[in-house]
């Protein structure tokens, strides 16, 4: 699956679960772990876990086995590793605290 197709699949899954503030970060050349990060917020721990699970289910239905899923039991921050795309679904407080968008911002490379 091409990266743009995978990103669209993840965005669709997150949209279906009413995730908020979905942001796609291009981290190619800045991370040796992945090419893209997708960050989204949920309004409750249950929604965070459900949105991440929807991403996993859509990926599997498309023939892609996630490399790992972390944080499902707690629900503040669930990470889904899809290889070239890593998905972070977070509660707003956790998202604000860790500030992944700023951390991976291209402006910090200068």
Q: Would the pLDDT of 16 be above 90?
A: yes
Look at the domain 3-105 and name its fold. Answer: Beta Polymerase; domain 2 (3.30.460)
The mean predicted confidence, pLDDT, of the chain is: 93
pLDDT > 70 fraction of the chain, expressed in percent and rounded:
95
- Gap between the Cα atoms of 56 and 20, Å rounded: 18
Q: Would the pLDDT of 10 be above 90?
A: yes
Find all residues with CB under 8 Å of 32, minimum gap 6, and list them.
none
Q: State pTM to two decimals.
A: 0.92
> Is residue 3 within a helix (H) or strand (E), and if so which, with residue range?
helix 3-16
Find all residues with CB under 8 Å of 23, minimum gap 6, and list them.
38, 39, 40, 101
Per residue in 89-98, pLDDT (tens digit) is 999 999 999 9
For the chain, the domains span 3-105
Selection from 34, 48, 40 nearest residue 82 by Cα: 34
Reduce the DSSP state of residue 10 to 3 states and report it. helix
pLDDT number for residue 98: 94
């Amino acid at each position: 699956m091409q990266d743009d197709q995978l990103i669209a699949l993840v965005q669709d899954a997150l949209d279906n679960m009413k995730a908020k503030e979905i942001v796609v970060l291009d981290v190619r050349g800045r991370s040796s772990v992945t090419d893209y990060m997708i960050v989204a917020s949920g309004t409750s721990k249950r929604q965070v876990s459900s949105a991440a699970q929807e991403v996993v289910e859509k990926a599997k239905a498309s023939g892609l086995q996630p490399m790992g899923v972390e944080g499902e039991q707690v629900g503040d921050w669930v990470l889904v590793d899809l290889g070239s795309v890593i998905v972070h679904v977070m509660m707003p407080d956790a998202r604000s605290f860790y500030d992944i968008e700023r951390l991976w911002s291209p402006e910090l490379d200068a």
